[in-house]
Chains A and B, each alone.
Chain A
């Protein structure tokens, strides 16, 4: 029986539940199961709103054999406002039943046919199946850099998982912890890398984004060849009050210099961060020349909250330099940006524009893992 792609409607909820049960029986972890509501909990379609998600299912008769999500959002693309769609959470029965090995390809090809200007983000590293397939299909892939700054070196060295993965590295980490060499080495390295702060900036915690954010967006969006809409309307949907977001507005002499959205999360047996308390810059925006001030403000707030570690992903090289000048290290990243052929054509010349595109952890499916 042929498999066809359809919107996920209410009458298909039972079929999606059965699909998830088969995935679970095949060993797929719950975080990779498909939502069992046909209406997205996050960013549901609302009349007139240009920021929303759509759910699709791959149906063989009445049986769901796969599903994926498209997130619709305006971007500033070479200075013009255009929709660019995010392809995510593709789940295929082929993961647990090889008779359906073609479903993943079918879904991807269908998504590209529906929405040629498409991107994917995150995905866990270049060697994962989805990035491998995207590369084979001629998409352009690049790493979104990862930056970190250690506030409590002893706890960091005890907990940080990648360092501890092998006995050799575990021994080194323990030795550094007990000898104090690790603590001193980290503190010294960060101190040497941190340039003098800008004392003229002021930071305030805000509950929502207003006209000040729109003015900042209007003046600076075109400075980046590709950046998701960061107007106040979009930001107030993405980061509503009442959630765990810490939203900061950074000003100098009364003028808005930038803003940032932070998270402060106590990790529990996290495969990357163990039991560290992790502060994250999930999102931010400013002119490139003010990146250092925004990062300085964010870092100060998070370290005053006593996090063990501050982290961020950022694709833009000017912001990358600003992280380094604030004493951050660059670490291994498994956060990948992939542009469809149509999107890459709009970003031509891609090699010139790629270092200046703007993606952070808050883009894509949001800071869900922080």
Chain B
């Protein structure tokens, strides 16, 4: 994975999900992070769109099951 991209994602995710960055790993998901509910999921999507100046399609949002998947989608859009 792209380290700089992952680091940016981890920082944003930690801020939105209100956890320390150390708690965010590639397999972090709503099931592993207690604060990650539908409202926080939306806030994460919006924060990423703002940070990277892009918009996710509904199909891409559907695929955001965990941090790794989000990273893959980001990687395909910012490359």
- Cβ 8 A contact of B61, one of A94, A109, A133: A109
> Hey, which chain B residues are within 8 Å of A99, CB to CB?
29-31, 65
> Hey, which chain A residues are within 8 Å of B36, CB to CB?
98, 101
> Nearest-CB distance from A131 to chain B (Å)?
10
| Cβ A3 vs Cβ B62 within 8 A | yes
A29 contacts B by Cβ under 8 Å: no
A185 contacts B by Cβ under 8 Å: no
> Nearest-CB distance from B10 to chain A (Å)?
18
> Hey, which chain A residues are within 8 Å of B65, CB to CB?
99, 102
The distance in angstroms between the C-alpha atoms of A132 and B40, with both chains bound, is 10
> Hey, which chain A residues are within 8 Å of B29, CB to CB?
98-99
Please, how many residues of chain B have a CB less than 8 angstroms from a CB on the other chain? 21
Segment among B1-9, B20-28, B41-49 that sits at the interface with chain A: B41-49
Q: A98-B31, A99-B65, A105-B45 are in contact. Are A110 and B58 (CB under 8 A)?
A: yes
Interface size classification for chain A: 20 to 34
> Nearest-CB distance from A86 to chain B (Å)?
20
> Hey, which chain A residues are within 8 Å of B45, CB to CB?
105
Q: A98-B30, A105-B45 are in contact. Are A133 and B39 (CB under 8 A)?
A: yes
The distance in angstroms between the C-alpha atoms of A283 and B41, with both chains bound, is 37
| Cβ A94 vs Cβ B38 within 8 A | yes
B51 contacts A by Cβ under 8 Å: no
A-facing residues in B51-78 (Cβ within 8 Å): 56, 58-59, 61-65
B-facing residues in A83-140 (Cβ within 8 Å): 92, 94-95, 98-99, 101-106, 108-110, 113, 129, 132-133, 136-137
> Hey, which chain B residues are within 8 Å of A253, CB to CB?
none
The distance in angstroms between the C-alpha atoms of A102 and B38, with both chains bound, is 6
The distance in angstroms between the C-alpha atoms of A296 and B61, with both chains bound, is 51
B-facing residues in A53-111 (Cβ within 8 Å): 92, 94-95, 98-99, 101-106, 108-110
> Hey, which chain B residues are within 8 Å of A108, CB to CB?
42
* Residues of B contacting A: mostly: helix
> Hey, which chain B residues are within 8 Å of A101, CB to CB?
30, 36-38, 40-41
The distance in angstroms between the C-alpha atoms of A110 and B30, with both chains bound, is 21
> Hey, which chain A residues are within 8 Å of B62, CB to CB?
2-4, 102-103, 106
The distance in angstroms between the C-alpha atoms of A109 and B55, with both chains bound, is 11
Q: A99-B30, A101-B37, A102-B64 are in contact. Are A137 and B42 (CB under 8 A)?
A: yes
* Number of cross-chain contacts by CB at 8 Å: 67
> Hey, which chain A residues are within 8 Å of B64, CB to CB?
102
A5 contacts B by Cβ under 8 Å: yes
Interface centre among B39, B58, B61, B63 (most CB of A within 10 A): B58
| Cβ B38 vs Cβ A92 within 8 A | yes
> Hey, which chain B residues are within 8 Å of A109, CB to CB?
56, 58, 61
The distance in angstroms between the C-alpha atoms of A104 and B13, with both chains bound, is 18
> Hey, which chain B residues are within 8 Å of A5, CB to CB?
58
- Cβ 8 A contact of A94, one of B37, B46, B59: B37
| Cβ B46 vs Cβ A2 within 8 A | no
| Cβ A2 vs Cβ B59 within 8 A | yes
> Nearest-CB distance from A259 to chain B (Å)?
40
Closest to B55 in A: A109
- Cβ 8 A contact of A136, one of B30, B31, B46, B61: B46
Closest to A133 in B: B42
| Cβ B31 vs Cβ A102 within 8 A | no
> Hey, which chain B residues are within 8 Å of A2, CB to CB?
59, 62-63
The distance in angstroms between the C-alpha atoms of A254 and B18, with both chains bound, is 64
| Cβ B58 vs Cβ A103 within 8 A | no
The distance in angstroms between the C-alpha atoms of A109 and B58, with both chains bound, is 6
| Cβ A4 vs Cβ B59 within 8 A | yes
> Can you pick out 7 interface pairs between chain A and chain B where the beta carbons lie within 8 Å of each other?
A5-B58, A102-B41, A102-B62, A104-B38, A129-B37, A133-B39, A133-B42
Query: Could you list which residues of chain A lie within 8 angstroms of chain B, going by C-beta atoms?
Result: 2-5, 92, 94-95, 98-99, 101-106, 108-110, 113, 129, 132-133, 136-137
